[in-house]
């Protein structure tokens, strides 16, 4: 009896701690006055992987599904990551090792992967066949060793791609060819079709002066290994695009620099010191001198104010207990103007004038 009493006390303590954390997170959020907030799914954890590009984009697509289907889905990030690795392997070998091969990627890599193989729910495919948490350090090391061996051959071995795919299967687990979900049987492609997501609706935008505005170009960042194209607009229009999308209930994939000391996820805030130059010229300068680099992708889900200043509500992928805001953070308007590298959003969220200017 004493054992059960102690267990009960421990359980009550744990529950009280969880309640305290949840209440504290809500109290912290209440310090900000929300202007817009797009409905979004629960905060996930990319764990020890460089797959923020997938977690942010899947979260974004889940918000798109809430908007279009009025239903929440929990999609498998690792199903898309595995296919992206497959495409990255082909790209690296066919370019004879003259391409970036790492854990990183871009939002469009998720779109490319889904177009190729579809998607499945998280409950169907966890994508972890090797341990308690996701960790791709050994995976990338083993893959690169195998691919370097293939590239060293005068003629590629016939089995180079199956051998690499076998390594993916060992780490991620075999991808399901079909599965049952909510009383229906699907393939990954038929499940994607059932979601009614038009993957051609999603575009990426940036704002740099080394290419003409109102045109597209392949953004020169290391993790753009698949050579995705981005529309280029001036920074004031860039910010207006973000605000209009949020106003109309559309969220955004945010990609940018988090190396600044004033990016403080633990404290739930990202800001720039007073007086920081956030002009178009400053954006270009910090891009050229590598002060602004493609570090991290997150899900931009809203806008808020505090003490007369504007902040954007950002959903991170470092777990809900990673800070006192439940895994979210508030990014100042100046930080977004200067440190955003690029964004992805639904082209339907653009004004008619903007679509005309970009010829979309």
Task: Give per-residue pLDDT as tens, 140-180.
Answer: 999 999 999 999 999 999 999 999 999 999 999 999 999 99
% of the chain exceeding 70 in pLDDT: 92
In DSSP terms, 127 is beta-bridged to none
Residue 130 has what pLDDT?
Answer: 85
Tell me the mean pLDDT in the region 262-281: 98
Cα dihedral across residues 68, 188, 116, 96: positive or negative: positive
Residue 33: name the closest of 303, 337, 324, 316 by CA. 303
Give the Cα separation of 171 and 152 in Å (integer). Answer: 25
Residue 105: name the closest of 77, 142, 125 by CA. 77
Give the Cα separation of 28 and 324 in Å (integer). Answer: 7
Residue 341 has what pLDDT?
Answer: 98
In DSSP terms, 269 is beta-bridged to 264, 330
For 292-311, write each residue's pLDDT tens digit.
Answer: 999 999 999 999 999 999 99
Bridge pairing between strands 269-270 and 229-232: unpaired
Residue 12 has what pLDDT?
Answer: 39
- Which pTM does this prediction carry? 0.91
For 318-350, write each residue's pLDDT tens digit.
Answer: 999 999 999 999 999 999 999 999 999 999 999
- The full DSSP string for 60-118 is HHHHHHHHHHS----B-HHHHHHHHHHHHHHHHHHTTT-S--SS---HHHHHHHHHHH-
Tell me the mean pLDDT in the region 226-240: 98
For the domain made up of 27-358, give the CATH fold.
Cathepsin B; Chain A (3.90.70)
Domain limits, the chain? 27-358
């Amino acid at each position: 009896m004493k054992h059960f009493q102690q267990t009960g006390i421990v359980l009550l303590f744990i529950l009280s701690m969880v309640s305290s954390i949840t209440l504290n997170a809500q109290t912290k959020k209440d310090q900000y006055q929300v202007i817009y907030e797009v409905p979004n799914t629960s905060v996930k954890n990319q764990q020890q992987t460089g797959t923020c590009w997938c977690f942010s984009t899947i979260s974004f697509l889940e918000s798109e599904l809430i908007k279009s289907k009025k239903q929440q889905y929990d999609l498998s990030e690792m199903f898309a990551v595995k296919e992206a690795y497959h495409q990255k392997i082909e790209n690296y070998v066919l370019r004879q090792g003259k391409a970036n091969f790492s854990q990183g990627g871009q939002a469009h890599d998720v779109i490319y992967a889904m177009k190729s193989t579809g998607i499945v729910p998280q409950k169907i495919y966890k994508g972890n066949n090797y341990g308690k948490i996701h960790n791709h350090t050994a995976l990338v090391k083993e893959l690169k060793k195998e691919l370097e061996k293939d590239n060293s051959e005068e003629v590629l071995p016939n089995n180079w791609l199956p051998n690499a795919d076998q390594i993916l299967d060992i780490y991620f687990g075999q991808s399901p060819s079909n599965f049952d979900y909510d009383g229906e049987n699907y393939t990954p492609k038929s499940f994607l079709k059932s979601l009614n997501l038009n993957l051609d609706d999603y575009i990426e935008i940036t704002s740099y002066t080394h290419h003409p505005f109102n045109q597209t170009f392949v953004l020169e960042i290391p993790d753009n290994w698949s050579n995705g194209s981005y529309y280029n607009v001036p920074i004031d229009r860039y910010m207006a695009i973000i605000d209009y999308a949020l106003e109309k209930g559309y969220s955004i994939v945010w990609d940018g620099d988090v190396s600044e000391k004033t990016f403080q996820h633990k404290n739930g805030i990202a800001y720039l010191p007073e007086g920081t130059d956030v002009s178009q010229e400053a954006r270009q300068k910090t891009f050229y001198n590598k002060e602004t680099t493609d570090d991290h992708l997150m899900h931009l889900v809203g806008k808020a104010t505090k003490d007369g200043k504007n902040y954007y509500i950002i959903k991170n992928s470092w777990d809900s207990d990673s800070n006192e805001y439940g895994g979210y953070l508030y990014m100042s308007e100046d930080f977004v103007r200067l440190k955003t590298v690029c964004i992805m959003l639904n082209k339907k969220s653009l004004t008619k004038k903007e679509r005309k200017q970009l010829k979309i």
